[in-house]
Structure 1
Amino acid sequence: MTVDRKHTFSPEEIEARLKADLPHWRLEDGWIRRTYKTNSWKGTLMVINAVGHLAEAAWHHPDLTASYAWVEVRLMSHDAKGITVRDFALAQKIEEVVMWQPGAAPDAPLEGTPQHDLRFSYLKYD
């Protein structure tokens, strides 16, 4: 079964899919959007670079807006003039990578950045 990469979803379908799979994302002005809050410019740049790597690897590029302590990611398939499976797929991968918390499990082998020390903590996890 082939996937129609240019099929656009209705606003109702988009809202349902976001609610089910990407609860921190929202539909606004024809884009699916997510704002990642960071603790500093360093964190903001790290999020931008992670998103940039994923977008380039996927060959599907979001629009980004950034400030000192946040990054907004906006996805829409320009060639299809709407939200497609490509937007959901990239949003899911961005969410997975950016919000990864290696130290979340008590016996995790990777401890993750210290959240209590702002010199090291860079992302504000949901």
Structure 2
Amino acid sequence: MTQWRKKTADEIYPQDEIEARLKEELPAWYFEDGWIRRKYKTSGWKGTLMVVNTVGHLAEAAWHHPDLTVSYAFVIVKLVNHAAKGITDKDFELARKIEETVMWRPQASAGSALEGTPDDPRFKYIKYD
């Protein structure tokens, strides 16, 4: 894994570094029109609301707020540092926290006492990659 030089809070990354970091650290995210983005596919409205609320909590706790596109079966998260007018460490850090929280699955954790959602479409709320 590449060690990226930590930048100041509002120092922006050039496009080539953004794309390289996403490929290495957040492969489901992509860079488009000045934003880093991720589309989370859900199983319907309930799952969409769960993702939106999770992202909302993390964004408010971090005091760094994404733009969201919300539909019946997906949520698109878009991050940019508006004050810096580009992608900064704030965007990468929040994207990483969103990714690890939304995509977390208890049954994937070795030795977890948590079962996770049953392998049944009635209970699935997110479509895992």
**TM-score grouping bracket, smaller chain normalisation:** over 0.9
1:55 equivalent in alignment to 2:71: no
2: CA distance, partners of 1:90 / 1:107? 28
What secondary structure, in the 3-state scheme, does the structure 2 residue paired with 1:79 have? Answer: coil
- C-alpha displacement of 1:105: 4.0
2: CA distance, partners of 1:106 / 1:83? 35
- Aligned-CA RMSD value: 1.3
Amino-acid identity (%):
65
Return 5+ residue gaps in structure 1 as ranges: none
Deviations 1:54-90 (A, max 9, x none): 0000000000001110000000000000000000000
- C-alpha displacement of 1:102: 0.6
1:5 equivalent in alignment to 2:9: yes
1:33 equivalent in alignment to 2:37: yes
- C-alpha displacement of 1:107: 3.6
What secondary structure, in the 3-state scheme, does the structure 2 residue paired with 1:81 have? Answer: coil
Residue 83 to residue 100, structure 1, CA distance change in 2 (3 Å): same
Equivalences, count: 124
1: CA distance, partners of 2:63 / 2:109? 33
What secondary structure, in the 3-state scheme, does the structure 2 residue paired with 1:103 have? Answer: helix
Letter in 1 for 2:52: I
Stretches of 4+ aligned residues off by more than 3 angstroms? none
2: CA distance, partners of 1:32 / 1:63? 11
- C-alpha displacement of 1:119: 2.0
1:19 equivalent in alignment to 2:23: yes
Return 5+ residue gaps in structure 2 as ranges: 1-5
What secondary structure, in the 3-state scheme, does the structure 2 residue paired with 1:64 have? Answer: strand
* TM-score, structure 1 normalization: 0.94
1: CA distance, partners of 2:99 / 2:87? 17
